[in-house]
């Protein structure tokens, strides 16, 4: 049976970025197991690709800042270009929502996010004219945000890891885990049996399922579906617009090709899997457009898809040792920020992995749910 220092379950952003940083550290033999035939088949390949740094949670803000800086300045030995449209972002808020955004902006400035400014509705509408009739009291502008080629980013992490000797196996679902008394872990996979010293659970919406296989703790995570829709090309769309997110009314849009990508920020809890598209969410989107963003009322939808965001009760990720099963490590619960933060998540995970179990005090530790 082939033995690895680290087996990582999942080739989404959590697993790929962890493999990248482990490989960069020369941390030993690495195997990435992915149940699908391609990387990023689930959340990591279905997200809105928006690099957003201003969020409400201080620890997440720091990860977003570091993750964004990585994407904007990829290392010299990064294997392939990652196109980044640095169009900025406009977060719109009304009433308490605008007060909260101003606080998020102050937090962002305090940790060093470049290019944050408070804009009036008139300033925002000069930049994106369809906002003239939208309902908001102010906008937080962040000019270092933008839109990332998510497939190139994910593939870059994996290609780099592979170039340093990591093995990445597709159609290789983890099916069984036996923790041996000598602290080695034996794994049954769809591609045969392997063993490892450390098992990294980066399986996204399946994370509690993988924990169950290993006899690890079950953590409070909810997999919630979110739909994205794309319009046909429209002459009036300006490809240089930022992404615009109305946080008071939960609706966002951004240029996508010659049309727009739109989201009504729906959130229905579902079991782990390939979530079906619920056609009624188009009506939810149309209703929000009519009420809060009438400048979009002419938009039609040409296609849509859905993905699962894995959310924790406190909104913070889960990165750290299990505490119940030795050598079982979590990189999960990345919610709606897993692409932006991926490089920083992988880096933190590897710092904790190489630092050993004593690093439990980190703000993302599974132990906070004890
Ligand atoms: C609609 C939507 C929009 C989003 N927009 C943004 C955005 O604009 N910006 C941003 O930063 N983030 C965004 N996100 C969030 C981001 O996509 C996620 O946080 C991130 O992709 C999570 O990565 P992950 O690796 O944890 O999960 P996943 O990408 O789901 O990867 C987990 C992998 O584990 C594999 N797996 C599971 N079980 C097993 C097993 N037993 N054996 C082998 N493999 C297994 C799965 O097949 C899967 O490929 C969005 C998410 C959604 C759904």
Measured from the CA of 39, which atom of ligand 1 is nearest? Answer: 49
Q: Does the Cβ of 256 fall within 6 Å of ligand 1?
A: no
- Give the model's pLDDT for residue 181: 74
Ligand 1, pocket-test mutation among 263, 338, 341, most atoms within 8 A of CB = 338
Residue 246's pLDDT is what?
A: 98
Question: How many angstroms does the Cα of residue 305 sit away from the middle of ligand 1?
Answer: 14
Which pLDDT belongs to residue 327? 94
Instruction: Determine the Cα–Cα distance for residues 287 and 175; give it in Å rounded to an integer.
Output: 43
**Cα–Cα distance measured from residue 270 to residue 285, given in angstroms and rounded to the nearest whole number:** 20
Residue nearest to atom 20 of ligand 1 (CA): 338
258, 338, 340, 354 from 47: Cα distances, Å: 19, 9, 11, 30
Q: 304: Cβ below 6 Å to ligand 1? A: no
C-alpha–C-alpha distance, residues 281 and 265, integer Å: 9
Q: Say if domain 89-143+222-311 classifies as CATH 3.40.50.300.
A: no
The DSSP H or E segment spanning 90 is strand 89-93
Class of domain 2-46+151-220+313-369: alpha beta
Check if the beta carbon of residue 64 is closer than 8 Å to that of residue 57. no
Query: What is the distance in A from the centroid of ligand 1 to the CA of 117?
Result: 31
Is residue 11 lining ligand 1, measured as CB closer than 6 Å?
yes
Ligand 1 touching residue 293 (CB < 6 A): no
Give the C-alpha separation, 205 to 222, whole Å: 8
Pocket test for ligand 1, best of 38, 332, 339, 341 (most atoms within 8 A of CB): 339
Main-chain phi, psi angles of 70, to 5 degrees:
-60, -45
Note the pLDDT of residue 358. 56
DSSP H helical ranges for 55-192: 58-72, 96-111, 121-127, 150-163
* pLDDT in the model for residue 361: 62
Residue 43 CB–ligand 1 contact under 6 Å: yes
Q: Which of 19, 190, 204 to mutate to test the pocket of ligand 1 (most atoms within 8 A of CB)?
A: 204
Our mutation pick for probing the ligand 1 site, out of 211, 336, 348, counting the most ligand atoms within 8 A of Cβ, is 336
Atom of ligand 1 nearest to the CA of 263: 1
Q: Which atom of ligand 1 is nearest to the CA of 44?
A: 21
**What are the structural domain ranges in the chain?**
2-46+151-220+313-369, 89-143+222-311
pLDDT attached to residue 182: 73
The minimum-distance atom of ligand 1 relative to the CA of 16 is 25
Query: 144's torsion region: left (phi>0), alpha (psi -120 to 50) or beta?
Result: alpha
Q: pLDDT truncated to tens, each residue of the chain (370 aa)?
A: 899 999 999 999 999 999 999 999 999 899 999 999 999 999 999 999 999 999 989 999 999 999 999 999 999 999 999 999 999 999 999 999 999 999 999 999 999 999 999 999 999 999 999 999 999 999 999 999 999 999 999 999 999 999 999 999 999 999 999 998 777 999 999 999 999 999 999 999 999 999 999 999 999 999 999 999 999 999 999 999 999 999 999 999 999 999 999 999 999 999 999 999 999 999 999 999 999 999 999 999 999 999 999 999 999 999 999 999 999 999 999 999 999 999 999 999 999 999 865 555 689 999 999 8
From CA 58, how far away is CA 64, in angstroms rounded?
10
53 in ligand 1 pocket by Cβ < 6 Å?
A: no
For the CA of 10, the closest atom of ligand 1 is 34
Burial class (CB in 10 A: 0-12, 13-18, 19+), 20: buried
- In this prediction, residue 180 carries a pLDDT of 84
Query: Ligand 1 center to residue 315 CA distance, Å?
Result: 16
Q: Which residues contact 196 (CB under 8 A, 6 or more apart)?
A: 3, 4, 5, 6, 7, 31, 184, 185, 187
Identical topology for domains 2-46+151-220+313-369 and 89-143+222-311 = no
């Amino acid at each position: 049976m082939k033995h690895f220092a680290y087996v990582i379950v999942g080739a989404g952003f959590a697993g790929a970025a962890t493999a990248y940083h482990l490989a960069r550290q020369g941390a030993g033999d690495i195997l990435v197991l992915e149940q699908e035939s391609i990387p990023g088949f689930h959340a990591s390949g279905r997200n809105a690709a928006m690099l957003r740094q201003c969020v409400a949670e201080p620890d997440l803000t720091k990860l977003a800042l570091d993750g964004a800086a990585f994407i904007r300045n990829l290392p010299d030995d990064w294997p392939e270009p990652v196109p980044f449209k640095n169009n900025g972002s406009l977060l719109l808020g009304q009433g308490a929502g605008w007060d909260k955004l101003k606080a998020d902006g102050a937090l962002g400035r305090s940790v060093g996010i470049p290019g944050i400014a408070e804009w009036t509705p008139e300033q925002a509408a000069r930049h994106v004219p369809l906002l003239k009739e939208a309902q908001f009291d102010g906008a937080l502008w962040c000019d270092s945000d933008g839109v990332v080629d998510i497939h190139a980013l994910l593939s870059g992490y994996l290609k780099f890891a592979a170039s340093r000797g990591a093995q990445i196996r597709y159609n290789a679902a983890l099916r069984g885990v036996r923790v041996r008394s000598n602290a080695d872990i034996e794994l049954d996979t769809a591609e045969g049996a392997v063993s490892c010293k450390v098992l990294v659970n980066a399986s996204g919406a399946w994370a509690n399922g993988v924990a169950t296989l290993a006899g690890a703790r079950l953590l409070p995570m909810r997999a919630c579906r979110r739909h994205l829709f794309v319009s046909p090309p429209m002459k009036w769309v300006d490809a240089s617009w930022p992404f615009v997110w109305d946080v008071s009314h939960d609706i966002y849009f951004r240029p996508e090709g010659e049309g727009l990508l739109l989201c009504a920020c729906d959130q229905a809890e579902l079991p782990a899997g390939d979530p079906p598209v619920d056609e009624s969410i188009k009506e939810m989107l149309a209703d929000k457009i009519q009420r809060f963003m009438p400048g979009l009322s002419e938009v039609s939808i040409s296609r849509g898809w859905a993905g699962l965001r894995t959310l924790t009760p406190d909104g913070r990720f889960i990165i750290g040792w299990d505490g119940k099963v030795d050598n079982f490590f979590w990189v999960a619960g990345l919610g709606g920020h897993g692409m932006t933060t991926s490089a920083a998540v992988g880096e933190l995970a590897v710092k904790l992995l190489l630092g050993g179990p004593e690093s439990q005090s980190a703000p993302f530790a599974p132990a906070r749910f004890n």
